Amino acid sequence: MRIVIEAGTHSPWISRLLADRGHEVIVANARRVRLIYESDSKNDRGDAVELAGLGRLDPALLSPIQHRGEAAQRDLALIRARDALVRRRTLLVNHVRGAVKSVGGRLPSCSTHSFVRQVREAIPEAVQEALAPVSRRSRA
């Protein structure tokens, strides 16, 4: 059976599941399907009817996409998780440095890896309580 689904958060695993069951799966790029993205009456049922019609008429009109493989998707999830953690760590370090500067203090230069250990004693008393949640070493 030909099944047309719209690209989205769940479409990678759903398309793999359906293809493993022997179905022909077309993942439509809705951003490139004018009937969908220019529609004045946006709703899931209407979009499904439009996608089904295009899937019967000419699947090329759906601007079909191919998702990454499962292994590549896992690798990308790991890369994105690490990126998010590094960004948050940088944001927190910059926040602590800015808060200390705002009360006239200055923290020593150090790597983000040793930040908490190096700066703990240098945080002025005026902001110690406010910065306690981000200046304590985690137990993890």
Write down the pLDDT at residue 109.
93
Helix/strand/coil (H/E/C) assignment for every residue in 91-104: HHHHHHHHHHHHCC
pLDDT tens-digit profile, the chain (140 residues): 999 999 999 999 999 999 999 999 999 998 888 777 677 777 778 888 888 889 998 999 899 999 999 999 999 999 999 999 999 999 999 999 999 999 999 999 999 889 988 998 899 999 999 999 887 766 55
Query: Could you tell me the pTM of the whole model?
Result: 0.67
Write down the pLDDT at residue 139.
56
Give the integer Cα–Cα distance in Å for 5 and 22. 15
Q: Which class for 64: exposed (0-12), middle (13-18), buried (19 or more C-beta within 10 A)?
A: middle
Question: Own/partner pairs for 103-110, CB < 8 Å, 24+ apart?
Answer: 103/127
Beta bridge partners of 27: 5, 65
